[in-house]
Amino acid sequence: MSELIVNGSADADAVVIGGKAATLATLVRLGFDVPPFFSLTAGAFTDRGLRDEVSATLDVHLEEIGPGPFAVRSSGREEDGADHSHAGQFLSLLEVEAAEIPTAAFQVWQSGAAETLQAYRASRGLDAGDHRPAVLIQQLVRARTAGVAFSADPVSGRRDRIVVSAVAGLGDRLVGGEESGDDYVLDRRTGRVLSAPDEGVLSDDDLTALTDLVIRVEDARGGPQDIEWAFEGERLFLLQARPITTLLREVPVEDTTLTLFDNSNIIESYPGLVSPLTYSFAQYVYARVYPMFLSLLGVGDTTIRTHRATFDNLLGRIDGRVYYNLINWYRLIALLPGFSVNRSHMETMMGVSEPLPVAIADALAPQRARGWAACREYLRMGWAAGGLVREAIRLPRTIRAFYGRLDKALETDAAEIAAMPLTALAAEYRRVEAELLDRWDAPLVNDFLCMMAFGASRKLLQRWGGDTGLALHNEVMIGQGDIISAEPAQRITRMGALAAGNEALITALELGDGSALSDHEALRHEVEAYIARFGDRCTQELKLESITLDQDPRPLLAAIAAAARMRRSIARHSENGDPVAELFPGRPFRRVIARRVLAIAKARVRDRENLRFQRTRVFGHARRIFLAMGRQFHAHGVLDDPRDIFFLSVPEVLGAVEGFGIGDDLAALAAGRKAEMAVAETRPDPPERIEVNGAAVNLTLAPSAPSTGGNDRVRSGTACCAGKVRAPARVVHDPRSESLKPGEVLVARFTDPGWIALFTNASAIVVERGSLLSHSAIVARELGLPCVVGIKGVTEWIANGETIEVDGTTGTVRKTDD
């Protein structure tokens, strides 16, 4: 009898109880949670059914494994083997009551004689013979959810992935192919969910438990496993385990190198999808410019050369979006004089929304200098400080020289560029690169001094004047009428006044009909002058693929029409009175210091914005060069469309002209990248911060958690322009295709100069990203609009049409019940 009925945990040979039961018995002995079972060997049956002696003791064995119902399953000798799984070839029956066990067991045993099994074995070159199986009687799990899990991806063959399929209730419909179920893919090393259904049957805790189970089973069995499982409540049962029989890839060498990508401080410059051409151009600019910056701050040439690879990898492009490579930025900051004795302060220079994790920062940072090493570090700081003082003294001259080089470098006009052949276009690009990128001194020095002066002046006024001091600081810093970022708003308001009251003209401008300007000479001259000066300013102006105003003036015409209807006047920046004297009555020393510090900071902020406009001119010149090259590539049959050049990188474009390129089929290369970007456009933006273990090429983005919007009624950010407005909100993602009704509150993730048409219609501005010196703050101040920036998740928290109250003095945004 012992050879006819075998207890579940007994150490029996697979020849006797079959492969499935033998595997489960081993797993039970190893401590896995397998539902209680026993096996009926193939010898327990005759052609009429169970042997009498087996039937006589069956009830005793059923009582030992617990109350029914039961699962009655096959366990063939070669079933669940490493070479041939025999999956689906035998019968399995569920929900079987105790009285039905003899009949059900006989049916399962008889399935071993089915023609389908014989065909399966013949197709694999296996012998025919009698392969009626042993039968496994197991207590049925009352499954909340059940399914299968693979410790490697059986389709792609990847060994660093875990694949799970699940259904609600019992898993027989999934295993039998009657139901597709929910599919999950997880990173094997971290357990991170890489893909999942929107509303799947498995929770995060379920997936964590399954990941642990399938890895433990693989370790126990010595190879990749395909398991069946079921949750009864929160208890996870292992129902079956067999080797994965499909061909798998080699196990990748473990790589724990960490890379952190963060876009919190770059998204205003490069929002959304960015073309390969723009990304490669920006990457090249960063790699050329920042070695000069470190040199100006006293870092030696040998050290800079040693970190060449770091400069080349300051940016990353993830799913078509631009990110900072945060760890490489930290490495550069750690090179600065004084870092080892003033680490916490210098870390704030990175300007990201959350700092580097302490463990990572500790691993990257040099040890704190002590003794003579500290003395040497302070000497380096003194030398660097002296150099900065020298640069600050001669900064006006440096800026004038930079403007001279810039004007000379950009003297080739659009018509001349359009008439150049490819070799001349490549030479023009190289000329601008040599004259500007290697001598980008004025913007670098001014930006650094601006950061220091702005932060120091703000802290000083807050310390001496509290909230009133901060308000004065805001007024002085972003209320400057001579900042070039404010000039477009001034000009558009002036042009709106010229069109005001002429309904036919306003309607034509709203429709983008520039021909209507022919009968309005003063307005036409203003528009032409605006485009001549700001033709390169547009939505996402630092993207080479962006359509500029000189190519399509309709956004400008719409902004003029909006200004005409709103009839808003530009906020006046009064020079009357002395707010510093009013803030510090009877304190002459503080007045003198405050005025001097504010004057320095104000000048640096002004020059920062004005120099950034010059950066826009450089990008505009590069845009014209590459567009001309695209037209020539198209004319020569190299590209299918002139604008396909934006799907190539700068080295690929120049290599095709100068001869160092690899491969000739640029059209196919551009087509492949265009398809990739089209797919990326359908996906939501990746998270603000992304962690990559190992090579960046292995990054797979986890699905974004659906946002609930939040139930809080009030959120706070950075107050940028005083005033309080209560009005309906309009959440805008793309100013090129979305509009704002007059008087609505503009709510956006970020803004740039191309948003000016919407600003003109807005009653207030709320922005998810940004700072006191962002474009949103400066233009809002110029238009006198209450403005709050830096409210994380605001575009998901606020719904279109919802009435909100924006307080630009306190920096709060409140949902109202209106």
pLDDT tens digit sequence for 553-569: 988 898 899 888 877 65
Give the span between the Cα atoms of 207 and 210, in whole angstroms: 5
Give the span between the Cα atoms of 666 and 422, in whole angstroms: 15
Q: Is the pLDDT of residue 55 over 80?
A: yes
pLDDT at 117: 67
pLDDT at 490: 83
- Name the average pLDDT for the chain: 87
Region at 196 (left for phi over 0; alpha for psi -120 to 50; beta for the rest) = beta
Backbone angles phi, psi at 781, to 5 degrees: -65, -40
Residue of 723, 727, 721 whose CA lies nearest to 741 = 727
- Report residue 736's pLDDT band, with 50, 70 and 90 as the boundaries: confident
Give the span between the Cα atoms of 704 and 688, in whole angstroms: 11
Task: Tell me the average pLDDT across 344-355.
Answer: 64
Judge whether 148 and 174 are in contact, CB under 8 Å: yes
Q: Is the pLDDT of residue 229 over 90?
A: yes
For residue 785, what are its two tokens? 């609009």
Residue of 190, 179, 223, 182 whose CA lies nearest to 81 = 223
Task: Tell me the average pLDDT across 601-627.
Answer: 92
Task: Tell me the average pLDDT across 276-292.
Answer: 94
Across 87-91, 240-244, 393-397, 487-491, least confident range: 87-91
Residue of 760, 756, 765 whose CA lies nearest to 727 = 765
- Report residue 475's pLDDT band, with 50, 70 and 90 as the boundaries: confident
pTM of the model: 0.81
pLDDT at 693: 84
pLDDT at 741: 83
Q: Is the pLDDT of residue 678 over 80?
A: yes
Residue of 637, 489, 639 whose CA lies nearest to 566 = 489
Return the beta strands (E) in 263-414 as ranges.
315-318, 321-325
pLDDT at 649: 97
Residue 70 has, within 13 A of its CA and on its CB side, a CA count of 28
Of 183 and 381, more confident? 183
Judge whether 290 and 308 are in contact, CB under 8 Å: no
Q: Is 525 helix (H, G, I), strand (E, B) or coil?
A: helix
Across 245-254, 359-368, 389-398, least confident range: 359-368
pLDDT at 707: 47
In the chain, what is the greatest distance between 2 CA atoms, to the nearest angstrom? 113
User: In residues, how long is the chain?
Assistant: 818
* % the chain with pLDDT above 70: 90
Q: Is the pLDDT of residue 2 over 60?
A: no
Task: Tell me the average pLDDT across 387-408.
Answer: 92
Task: Tell me the average pLDDT across 156-172.
Answer: 90
Q: Is the pLDDT of residue 708 over 50?
A: no
- Report residue 82's pLDDT band, with 50, 70 and 90 as the boundaries: very low
pLDDT, tens digit, 9 for 90 and up, residues 504-542:
999 999 999 999 999 999 999 999 999 999 988 888 889
pLDDT at 255: 87
Residue of 786, 768, 782, 785 whose CA lies nearest to 263 = 768
Of 13 and 55, more confident? 55
Task: Tell me the average pLDDT across 326-333.
Answer: 89
Task: Tell me the average pLDDT across 413-418.
Answer: 94
Task: Tell me the average pLDDT across 289-310.
Answer: 91
Burial class of residue 744 in the structure, from the number of CB atoms within 10 Å of its CB (0-12 exposed, 13-18 middle, 19+ buried): buried
- Report residue 807's pLDDT band, with 50, 70 and 90 as the boundaries: very high
Burial class of residue 678 in the structure, from the number of CB atoms within 10 Å of its CB (0-12 exposed, 13-18 middle, 19+ buried): exposed
CA dihedral 615→620→621→622, nearest 10 degrees, is 90
pLDDT at 364: 78
Task: Tell me the average pLDDT across 78-85.
Answer: 53
Neighbours of 814 (CB within 10 A): 17
Across 215-219, 723-727, 766-770, least confident range: 766-770
